[in-house]
Structure formats: structure tokens, C-alpha cells
Structure 1
Amino acid sequence: MPPMPSEILALIDKPLLLALVLAVGAAIGVGAERIVEGWKRAERRERWQKRGGKRPWSVGKAKAVPVAPPPKPASPVATAAEQLRVVMEAAFTARPLFNQGERRLLTVLDKALAEESPGWRAMGQVSLGEILATPNEAAFFAVNSKRVDLLIVDADCRPLHAVEMQGTGHHLSNNTAARDAVKREALRRAGIGYVEVVSGDTPAEVRTMVRKLVGRAPGVG
């Protein structure tokens, strides 16, 4: 067995110095290992991104750990209980379904429909989600919460024509014209008519519109 170098023998005689040298060497080795592992992770991430994949693992310092699943939504019972609590703590008051102009329009519509097409009726503030159906979920949610001012239905309550009351500043509000376009297109695709009544229209003009809708206006049908 060859003799030990004099430098090692000197360190053995000085245990504190030997421990310090070993600790420094270990720290350098660990640091180098982490640097190399970081390079490898970066290379793997780059290769995965180039393939357009999604990483199924969240890589930690020591080992790969599966990504935790998203939290489950609250149960309907818990949600309803929370809603009930909030409602019980709130104060509510009743408010009219229509404004003054819409009430006048409904009165004229009811009278004109009774004269021109008995069995047809006008209903107010109808949600499109109640009268439209589509297999396209995104399209349904785009119109589900939208409403029409008045809806003319037949004796079987099938929707025939939507009637929108447009005030003088209706289209001046933000996104109002865009929302109306969405409603109009959805109704058109379902075969439901769409008409607008301006706040300045007279009862005679509304009756003429109704006659056109039922196909009894002069020159129609």
C-alpha cells in the first residue's frame, strides 16, 4: 500500500481543518449537482413546450409531484343555504314590471291584438332563455339572461314576435346596440319576429304594426 501524501497526513493531524475542507468540498459538490439538475429541467421544459404539450407534473427540488386537482365546486345545498342567509338579512321592496312608456305600449298592444287576432297575447320582460333553445352551450349562455320588453305569443303560448320599446336615448348607452343585435339575431334564427316601437309612436301606428304582424294590413297576404 503506497504511503499517504504528506498534505493528507498534515490534515489528519489537524481534525478541525480536515472537517472544514470536507465541508467546503461537499458544499461545492451539492451546488454543482443542483446547477446541473437545473439545466436538465430547463432542457426538458423547453423540449416539452416545443411539442406543444402540457406538463402533467409539477417538478420539485427532490422529485416529481402530481399537480393537485382543482377544488370541487360548492354543493348546491350549501350554495342555496348561503343564498337564503343573505336574502334573510336583506331588505326588499316591490317595483313595477314596466316603466310608463312600456305600460302604455302594453295597453295598446292588448287592445289591438284582441281586435286583430283574438287568442294572441302580449307578455312582458320575457327571458330569452325561456323561449330559445340551442345545442350550442356558449350561444345559449350568450342570450340566456337577455330579455325582450314584450313578447307576442299565440293561443298556445308559442313565441311569435318580440317587441322592443326604444326610448329617445336608448342607443346612446354603452353596448346597447350590440346587445340588441345579439337578441335580434338569436330571435331571427329561431323564426321569431323582432320589431321596435319608438317612444313617439302613436297608438294608431302601433295598431298598424299589429295588423302587419297578423297579416291583415292592406296589401299583405
Structure 2
Amino acid sequence: MIWDEGWLPASWTADLADHLNAIALIVATCLLAAAFGARMFRGRRRGRRPGWTALPGATLQDIHDLRDPLRQMDAIAQSAFECVPLLNREEARLLPILEAAVREVGDGHRLMAQTSLGELIRPSPNLGTTETRRRAFASINSKRLDFAVINRYGYLVLAIEYHGSGHYHKQSFIRDAVKREALRKAGVPTLEVPERFKPADLRADLLGILGKAELARSGT
């Protein structure tokens, strides 16, 4: 039977077309879901993890994309884990000196270790495009500060970088420059500690920087 729309009112024709389009979309979705379910079922019968069978056109990169939590869990299931120290031996020697100096500053300041820079600063929404801000954040998010001092409100007020043995090579220099520039733009001072430091000098430097920061915030 050939459908002739000529005898229908124009408004009915438009409504009918919308309904037919909606029905076609639902049918197509159901067919796709059925095909995907069949592939998952075949994967189960072969002893594979449900949902791991690649859809047509999937690349090897898609199959092994570890953004999928199921694939992450599978990778973890095939490995063993062990605890490792948060700080190396040289950084651990520096930790109590910094802790004591931060306690002396008081006013709710806290010392953090090995903190993600992306958790402490971010690109300002008032400058640049969404894409430039995304790229800027991606450039710092995977980097860490050796030590970070935060105030009572949880804001970063001082970044501390320790330049211990084995620190000086090309990649470390570039990473440090990236962090230093991002921190400068955020208005956060950086205290760089050399391998051979004197505890008294380090304490004086830390107290001096945080004291100046407090004066700047109070406006005195």
C-alpha cells in the first residue's frame, strides 16, 4: 500500500512525521542494544569479562583504554601491590624541620607533603578561552610539590621544593620551571631548599616568607 499524505491536514502530517521519526529512533536504538548484548553474551560464553568484546571498528587503543574502571580493575587484579615511603630519605630528614617551623608560625597553618599541584591552584576563569585553560590545567595537574604550606582556610601560601641529590637533570629543570611559573602567576612564593641546607637558615627563610605573606594579607 502506498501512503498518500495529500488527504491529511497539514498539522496532522507534521505530527505524524514527528511520531514516525521518534519510532524509527527507538527501533534503531533497540537494534543496537540487542547487537551489543549479543556480543557481551558471546564474551561470557567464552569466559571473558562482560563488556570487553570490542564493537565493530574499535581499535586496539580503545580496547586497552584504562579510563574504563572495569579495565582498571582488571589490571589491578593481575598485579600485586606493596607500600612505599611517601618521602625519600633526604626529604624525610627535612620534614620535621619544616613541621617545627610551620608550627611556630601558628595561625592554623599546616604542612602537606607530595601534594598534587592541580589540587592547590587552577587557571583563573577570567582570562583565556576554555581550551587554553584546559591546556594550562593539564600542564600542572600531574605535577607535585615536595611540600606545601596551607593556611587555616585550606589555601596554598608557600610551595617548598627540595633539590636533593640526583635532582639536577634536564627534565627536572623544565618541570621545576613550569611549576615555578604557575605558582608565580597564582601569587604563591616558592622556597627552594638546596641539598646541603642549614636547619637554622631554613627555619629563618620559612618564617620570613610566611611572615611577609601574613603582613600582605593583613595590609600592614
TM-score in terms of structure 1 length? 0.61
Q: Deviations over 1:67-124 (max 9, x none)?
A: xxx96967x9981111101101101110000011211212111111112334211100
Counterpart of 1:106, as a letter, is L
Of 188, 194, 205, the residue aligned with 1:198 is 194
- Secondary structure of the 1:183 match is helix
2:8 alignment partner in structure 1 = none
2:159 alignment partner in structure 1 = 162
Of 117, 120, 141, the residue aligned with 2:109 is 120
Inter-partner Cα distance in structure 2 for 1:79 and 1:132? 27
Q: Deviations over 1:141-175 (max 9, x none)?
A: 1111011100011111110110001014422x232
Of 191, 203, 211, the residue aligned with 1:215 is 211
Contact kept in structure 1, 2:113 and 2:147, CA below 8 Å: yes
Alignment root-mean-square deviation, CA: 2.7
Counterpart of 1:161, as a letter, is L
2:145 alignment partner in structure 1 = 148
Please say if 1:111 is aligned against 2:107.
Answer: no
Q: List gaps (5 residues or longer) in structure 2.
A: 1-56, 124-129
Of 134, 137, 143, the residue aligned with 2:134 is 137
Inter-partner Cα distance in structure 2 for 1:115 and 1:131? 23
Q: How many residues align?
A: 149
Query: Alpha carbons of 1:164 and 1:77: their partners in 2 closer, same or farther (altered >3 Å)?
Result: closer
Inter-partner Cα distance in structure 2 for 1:161 and 1:77? 34
Q: List gaps (5 residues or longer) in structure 1.
A: 1-69
Inter-partner Cα distance in structure 2 for 1:109 and 1:89? 40
Query: Alpha carbons of 1:86 and 1:112: their partners in 2 closer, same or farther (altered >3 Å)?
Result: same
Contact kept in structure 2, 1:168 and 1:198, CA below 8 Å: no
Which runs of 4 or more aligned residues in structure 1 lie more than 2 Å from their structure 2 counterparts after TM superposition? 70-74
Which structure: larger Rg?
1
Query: Alpha carbons of 1:203 and 1:138: their partners in 2 closer, same or farther (altered >3 Å)?
Result: same
- Secondary structure of the 2:136 match is helix
Contact kept in structure 2, 1:116 and 1:210, CA below 8 Å: no
TM-score in terms of structure 2 length? 0.61
